[in-house]
Amino acid sequence: MKFNKLTTWIFISLVLGIVVGYVCNTTAPDAAAAKEVASYFSALADIFLRMVKMIIAPLVFATLVSGIASLGDTKAVGRIGLKAMGWFVTASFVSLLLGLVWANVLHPGQSMNLPLPDAGAATNLKTSALNFKDFIVNVFPKSIFEAMAGNSVLQIVIFSLFFGFALSSLKDATGKAMVSTIEELVHVMIRITDYVMRFAPVGVFAAVAAAITVQGLGVLSTYATLIGSFYLGLASLWLVLIAAGYLVLKKRVFTLLGLIKEPTIIAFSTASSEAAYPKTMEQLEKFGVKDEVTGFVLPMGYAFNLDGSMIYQAFAILFIAQVYGVEMSFMTQLSMLLVLMVSSKGMAGVSRASLVVVAATLPMFKLPEAGLLLIMGIDVFLDMGRTATNVIGNSLATAAIAKWEGKLGPTVLDADEAEEAEAEPAFAPQATAAQGIEA
């Protein structure tokens, strides 16, 4: 397989991070020294993530307002929103169901036979931060500046909706001038995004090296059954999502998968959806999705369409139950699925969200919350997979909705991507920048 330049450097950085992290882990005299070395790698990763976070708020605001102003019709916005939520809810249900199915088929926790943690063992997760009432209240920002400072995507979306509708209602010269300014802001933010993404290989290397330096490769073999089972479940979810995308996009779904490999690798390496957001927007634009659809649907997906996180939650809860030999009937598991469908919608803005959802759900089914300690040590490796899956799910959802709305244009590739397309005609039937692809 041939990668374009940025993808090549990201892949090299990923492998190099594993090698360097392993060397640092094996040569460190003790755990404290390993953590000290990892802190320097983490500093580099944090710098990259900070640069990404600094562009998230203005990028979401500009693209969403520009999209609403371009649509100009509240009915169109409502129609797209309903289609998006329909896809998100369906995908969430399927993801949770697959998590339950694979956990029941593979029984990853049965063979561990680990002792029950002390009753007072603490996870230090703020489960009180997660409840549906607070989620509904916190959807609405009390200050747009506070929302932007905290990168609260859902709150930024709400303000942008109000701002976009107000702007589209202004038909005079002032309104048109502001729309033009917002559209120019989008172009500026995309250019800034290009600059920031040049540092992606450094961020990927540092994030992976830090994780391996502290955890070592041994932790992967210790929990090989759990990790292998979870990634098998993720693979099945990818197949389902791709099949759903194929029903809508036909063969162009493979073009999309080729385009989003960079943001997927970034998400996997950094375990951060935010890190992949700018590049995902750029690749969707190349695929042919109109800016107004991307700017509206993708931010919603980051709040409501976390497919990888969903399958993880169901899988993790059943894993903990199996470790302690707690039987969960079919009806109990169905009840758990419905609880997760609701509670997980409050994940946006909660630190270590997937773990928090699991910790909050365990007591409802008389499972020890401290059981989460069993997987917290390797959660970073599980988080990589679920974050990459979230990127794929949101990309497919955005492209599918654009297709339904008649807002999917031809694919336009740069020189490297066009060359790659020619090298892989069987897998990803793509077109050159000059030819394009019919919607």
pLDDT tens per residue, range 350-365:
445 677 678 767 777 8
Name the residue among 433, 348, 318 with its Cα closest to residue 135. Answer: 348
Report pLDDT for 197.
76
User: What is residue 349's predicted lDDT score, i.e. its pLDDT?
Assistant: 46
CATH number at 5-408? 1.10.3860.10
The β-bridge partners of 408 are 289
Q: Which two tokens stand for residue 113?
A: 């036979």
What span, in angstroms and rounded, lies between the C-alpha atoms of 94 and 314?
11
pTM for this model (two decimals): 0.71
Write b or e for each residue in 61-84: b if 16 or more Cβ atoms lie within 10 A of its Cβ, otherwise e. Answer: bbbbbbbbbbbbeeebbeebeebb
| Residues forming beta bridges with residue 289, ordered by sequence position | 408
Beta bridge partners of 253: none
At 248 the pLDDT is: 94
CA atoms in the 13 A half-sphere facing the CB of 88: 24
Domain boundaries, the chain: 5-408, 409-439
Structure confidence by residue, pLDDT tens digits, 29-49: 888 888 899 899 888 888 887
Tell me which H or E stretch contains 50: helix 31-71
Closest CA to 214 of 36, 403, 351, 373: 36
Residue 22 contacts residue 38 (beta carbons within 8 Å): no
Contact between 66 and 179 under an 8 Å Cβ cutoff? The reply is yes
Residue-level pLDDT, tens digit, the chain, 439 residues? 344 566 678 778 878 988 998 899 888 888 888 889 989 988 888 888 788 778 878 887 887 788 777 766 667 778 888 898 899 989 999 999 999 999 999 888 776 554 555 544 445 555 554 555 666 777 788 899 988 887 777 788 788 888 888 887 887 777 788 888 888 888 888 788 778 878 888 888 887 888 788 877 765 666 788 888 999 999 999 999 999 999 999 999 999 999 999 899 988 988 877 788 888 988 999 999 988 888 888 888 877 788 898 899 899 899 888 887 788 888 888 888 887 876 666 555 444 567 767 876 777 787 876 677 667 667 778 888 998 999 999 999 999 999 998 889 898 876 565 665 555 544 444 433 333 433 3
Structure tokens at 42: 């983490």
